Chains A and B, each alone.
Chain A
């Protein structure tokens, strides 16, 4: 077993900058969206849980962006077209069902991705090994709520169906190749479909039938092409930092 591949220090290879930015932007943007829930959650326990998940994601974003440069410069001084996050994570919170479905789709993806990166021994392995534990919790949280809402009342069921449908078309881009991220996209996609499909089935929800990406959406976020609400989100996020150039906080 002691081949040169397995004994090589995993941190030895340099971190691919583009990949660190893409994965860092995913975490940064979703963390921000979850921050918009503060004080609006349906129960107190969810105030804690959503802030907790947001804080984990922000921590991941800070590590990843710091690998690519200065975290604040990258977060606050890039324009919309330079962000490389998935369109899925920038989608507005909508109702609690939308937030949960977005979280289910993304956490399942992120869990598969980090598990694979952790096992792969590449430059992201140490970071992925830590993050995968956090993400397992996020996925579990989303799964539990998917079951409660899907198999809850008529209203919650209907809201979940709408959310699943509405966000479905953003899930195709999860498996587009990202420069510097060495994973088997096809295999991940199969695993993702199986996992999400199983949870939706247990939640008495149907797997949406629509396309998972349109001609306009596939891989667009990764190329800096975003949906309209994203610009407004960035305006709010960056306003104060940009108003005081060079200031430290």
Chain B
């Protein structure tokens, strides 16, 4: 395995032996920690990926948050509250992980608001019925789990450890989402129609969550060589489909793909091709809710400025008082 890592040429000023030490750490599947030397490209790729991941948690609060005030039972309302709260918590873990790489949370927030950093394409789709809440749990958290479970073994220690905690909570939410859909499928015709409609709208966007196909994913190879990422986009996508199809059967819904069938030979499902043009449009900002999600984030940030300034001013006053107290 030692020959597979595509180490960058060490920068001219990299002290002797550091690049070799880093390469050996990766090759032995050991963790890179914040104070270890690492190639600049590795650091930058990680900051980008972790920040994007953190942003996704924060923007991801919006589509589900839409339904907190309309949840149709107090139990579902409590579940939704807890989930949205967890997402904010996941955002916090991830920003902390990014900060171990020398990034600054405020700066990352600015980058998000200015559109210079991305978040998951999936959150640019609208939640139009309460079944969407269940489908987001089932598909979106399911896809996130496929993506994130391997990241628990990511080569960067703080990221891998954040993923362990996040995955535990995500799988809990995924089960709750599926259970909501189960309940609705056992309910009225109108509820069953809501579920099928939500499945129809979210299936393809969920497959797109894994990113572009492997032959169009420029950063993938390097991330895999560095063991930041463990599996290719297409591999994870196929894993998600294989996992989800039997769950759809059990639920009694149809997945909106006429090409979807079991392939005896490969031992996997064959499935149709997502609309990659749509994915590109959404990533570039032209999805159904991009504008609204960013606007909401920007407004919350701007309208909260006076609160953050007050907290800073108060802390400064307290510190000054403590100092005066100590001097007296």
Which residues of chain A have a CB within 8 Å of any CB of chain B?
28, 32, 35-36, 38-48, 51-52, 54-55, 58-59, 61-62, 65, 71-72, 75-76, 95-96, 147-149, 151-153, 155-156, 159, 236-237, 239-241, 244, 246-249
Contacts and interface: CB of A to CB of B under 8 A. Distances in A.
Contact of B88 (A44, A72, A239, A247): A44
Interface string B169-202: 0000000000010011011101100000000000
Interface in B22-78: 58, 61-62, 65, 68-78
B63 to A, nearest CB: 9
13 contacts: A39-B61, A40-B296, A41-B304, A43-B311, A58-B74, A65-B74, A151-B314, A151-B317, A156-B310, A159-B306, A236-B70, A237-B70, A241-B73
A120 B34 CA distance: 55
A152 B304 contact: no
B307 interface: yes
A159 B305 CA distance: 13
A202 B75 CA distance: 39
A104 B206 CA distance: 43
Nearest to A61: B74
Given A47-B85, A62-B78, A153-B306, A236 B69 contact: yes
Interface in B142-193: 180, 183-184, 186-188, 190-191
B89 interface: yes
Is the contact region of chain B dominated by helix, strand, or loop, or is it mixed? helix
Contacts of B187: 247-249
Given A44-B58, A249-B183, 9 more contacts: A35-B77, A39-B296, A40-B300, A44-B92, A47-B88, A55-B81, A65-B74, A95-B303, A149-B310
B308 interface: yes
A58 B307 CA distance: 26
Interface residues of B, number: 49
Contacts of A155: 306, 309-310
| Max count, chain A CB within 10 A of own CB: residue among B61, B72, B187 | B72
B26 to A, nearest CB: 32
A36 B130 contact: no
| Max count, chain A CB within 10 A of own CB: residue among B69, B71, B91 | B69
B14 interface: no
B84 interface: yes
B85 A55 contact: yes
B313 interface: yes
Given A48-B89, A240-B70, A96 B307 contact: yes
Given A42-B303, A47-B61, A244-B191, A55 B82 contact: yes
A7 to B, nearest CB: 36
Contact of A156 (B70, B299, B307): B307
A95 B307 CA distance: 10
Nearest to B303: A42
